[in-house]
Amino acid sequence: MANVDKEMLAQFLLRMGDNSLILGHRVSEWCGHAPVLEEDIALANTALDLIGQTQLWLGYAAEVIGDKTADDLAFLRDVWDFRNILLVELPNGDFGQTLMRQFLYDAYQSILLPRLAKSSDPRVAEIAEKASKEAAYHVERSADTVVGLGDGTEESHARMQTALNKLWPYVGEIFASDAVDAAMAASGIAPDPASLRAEYDALVGNVMAEATLTIPEGDFAHLGGRTGATHTEHLGHLLTQMQWLQRAYPGASW
């Protein structure tokens, strides 16, 4: 492993694992309620990939932290210990908002993961190698759906524009680098997120243009998820449901 502060590495791994855990959970809430059968299958498949990635990221985080398992981290931490970006913990909204959020996240992952596959940390590289194949497929699908609905009917266009307006202020957090990111970049484990912004804007810009949607002006960003300083009120409710059995029956094996 590269020479890096273990606490910093653990924070980085929690950010990766918590993003996929919380988004995977949100997507799984759609099960059985999608607009068309093919979407039920696709959403379950996306959630499945994300929870699979969670096992790997949190599994590694648990090793670095020591004396923990991926399940301990998922089911026994409270809100302030979660390091996911705010974007993924927002409620699903309508199908358009869910798919817009998915695209905004997939676009970031599709740029980040191929770089992580070349990480100086072989474990990070190995996880990213697997996850980047899934991300490539996810972004293709979510981009197609955003384009189809953005450039569909008047109603679908309006709904997608509303979703983009609502979610855009949560995009900036992805690129808000801090000391953890600086440590990862210095040791060659992960790129500085700020350095990925131009590529992200180009990708998202192209898809939104094709979808006939307008990216809102202004660069205001809601922050506080990836540092854990200020999550939204929504995360606590998500955890009450997700963690319920583990909390109600401590020590049981499932």
Partner 1 sequence: MYAQMIKSEASKDDPEKLAEFQAKIDADIKVEPRDWMPEGYRKTLIRQIGQHAHSEIVGQLPEGNWITRAPTLERKMILLAKVQDEAGHGLYLYAAAETLGVSRDELTEMLLDGRMKYSSIFNYPTLNWADIGAVGWLVDGAAIMNQVPLQRTSYGPYSRAMIRICKEESFHQRQGYDIMMKMAQGTEAQKKMAQDALNRLWYPSLMMFGPSDAESVHSTQNMAWKIKMNTNDELRQKFVDQTVPQAEYLGLTIPDENLKWNEDKGGYDYSDPDWTEFFNVLKGNGPCNTDRLEARNKAWDDGAWVRDGLMAHAEKKRAAKTAAE
In the three-class reduction of DSSP (H, G, I as helix; E, B as strand; rest coil), residue 21 is classed as helix
Looking at the Cβ atoms of 75 and 126, the one nearer to partner 1 is: 75
Nearest alpha carbon to residue 34 among 103, 92, 100: 92
> In sequence order, what E strands does 54-198 have?
none
Where does this chain touch partner 1 (CB under 8 A) — which range of 41-49, 85-93, 161-169, 226-234?
A: 41-49
Q: What is the largest CA-CA distance in the chain?
A: 54
Under rule CB under 8 A, residue 83 binds partner 1:
no
Of residues 66, 67, 233, 253, which one binds partner 1 by CB under 8 A?
Answer: 253
Of residues 1, 5, 35, 91, which one binds partner 1 by CB under 8 A?
Answer: 35
- The answer for residues whose C-beta is within 8 angstroms of residue 79's C-beta and 6 or more apart is 231, 235, 236, 239
Of residues 48, 185, 215, 221, which one binds partner 1 by CB under 8 A?
Answer: 48
Q: Report the nearest approach of partner 1 to the CB of residue 139 (Å).
A: 18
Q: Report the nearest approach of partner 1 to the CB of residue 186 (Å).
A: 31
Token representation of residue 95: 């199908």
Q: Report the nearest approach of partner 1 to the CB of residue 45 (Å).
A: 6
Question: What radius of gyration do the chain's Cα atoms show?
Answer: 18
DSSP string, 111-139: HHHHHHTT-SSHHHHHHHHHHHHHHHHHH
Q: CB burial class (10 A; 0-12, 13-18, 19+) of residue 133?
A: middle
Under rule CB under 8 A, residue 245 binds partner 1:
yes
Where does this chain touch partner 1 (CB under 8 A) — which range of 3-11, 66-74, 182-190, 195-203?
A: 66-74
Looking at the Cβ atoms of 6 and 33, the one nearer to partner 1 is: 33
Q: CB burial class (10 A; 0-12, 13-18, 19+) of residue 104?
A: buried
Of residues 92, 162, 165, 246, which one binds partner 1 by CB under 8 A?
Answer: 246
Catalog residues that contact partner 1 under the rule CB under 8 A.
Answer: 21, 25, 28-29, 31-41, 44-45, 47-48, 51-52, 54-55, 58, 70-71, 74-75, 94-96, 145, 147-149, 151-153, 155-157, 159, 241-242, 244-246, 249, 251-254
